[in-house]
Amino acid sequence: MKVVIALSGGLDSTVALYELLAENHRVRAFFVDFAKDSNIRELSAAKKAAIDADIPIEIVDGKGIKEIQIGYVSAEQLASDEMDIKGAEIISGTAISGFTILMTMAQLHAQLINYDQVAFGLISEQTKDRPQVFDLGTKLEEVQSLLNPSAPMVTFNFPFQAMTKPDVVRRGAALGVPFENTWSCLRGDLIHCGACPQCHSRKQSFIAAGVPDPTTYSV
Please report whether residue 202 resides in a domain.
no
Please report whether residue 147 resides in a domain.
yes
Residue range 196-200: average pLDDT? 89
Looking at residue 135, which CATH number applies to its domain?
A: 3.40.50.620
pTM of the predicted model as reported, rounded to 2 decimal places: 0.91
Q: Which helix (H) or strand (E) holds 60?
A: strand 57-61
Distance CA 27, CA 113 (A): 12
Q: Which helix (H) or strand (E) holds 198?
A: helix 197-209
Domain of 82? 2-178
Q: Does position 87 have pLDDT exceeding 50, yes or no?
A: no
Please report whether residue 30 resides in a domain.
yes
The side-by-side arrangement of strands in the sheet containing 155-157 is 57-61, 26-33, 2-6, 117-119, 155-157
Distance CA 136, CA 12 (A): 19
Q: What is the number of structural domains in the chain?
A: 1
Please report whether residue 116 resides in a domain.
yes
Q: Do 58 and 30 form a contact (C-beta atoms < 8 A)?
A: yes
Q: Does position 89 have pLDDT exceeding 70, yes or no?
A: no
Q: Do 172 and 214 form a contact (C-beta atoms < 8 A)?
A: no
Residue range 88-94: average pLDDT? 53
- CA-only gyration radius of the chain, Å: 16
User: In angstroms, how far is the first alpha carbon of the chain from the final one?
Assistant: 42
Please report whether residue 199 resides in a domain.
no
The predicted structure's pLDDT at residue 156: 96
Residue 34's Cβ-count burial label (10 Å; 0-12, 13-18, 19+) is: buried
Please report whether residue 201 resides in a domain.
no
- Give the DSSP letter of residue 217: B
Residues of the chain with pLDDT > 70: what percent?
Answer: 89
Write the CB contacts of 121 (distance below 8 Å, at least 6 apart in sequence).
5, 6, 8, 10, 12, 13, 14, 15, 16, 159, 160, 168
**Predicted confidence band of residue 97 (pLDDT cuts 50, 70, 90):** low
Residue range 28-57: average pLDDT? 94
**Predicted confidence band of residue 131 (pLDDT cuts 50, 70, 90):** confident
**Predicted confidence band of residue 36 (pLDDT cuts 50, 70, 90):** confident
Residue range 153-164: average pLDDT? 95
Average pLDDT, the chain: 89
Q: Which helix (H) or strand (E) holds 47?
A: helix 39-53
- DSSP per-residue codes, 122-157: --GGGGTT-GGGGGHHHHHHHHHHHH-TTSPPPEEE
Please report whether residue 216 resides in a domain.
no
Residue range 54-60: average pLDDT? 97
Q: Do 169 and 209 form a contact (C-beta atoms < 8 A)?
A: yes
Residue range 9-30: average pLDDT? 97
Maximal CA-CA distance, the chain: 54
Q: Does position 155 have pLDDT exceeding 80, yes or no?
A: yes
Q: Does position 93 have pLDDT exceeding 80, yes or no?
A: no
Range with lowest mean pLDDT among 86-90, 117-121, 125-129, 141-145? 86-90
Q: Does position 182 have pLDDT exceeding 60, yes or no?
A: yes
The predicted structure's pLDDT at residue 6: 96
- Give the DSSP letter of residue 115: -
Please report whether residue 142 resides in a domain.
yes
Distance CA 160, CA 12 (A): 8
**Predicted confidence band of residue 176 (pLDDT cuts 50, 70, 90):** very high
Q: Does position 115 have pLDDT exceeding 90, yes or no?
A: yes
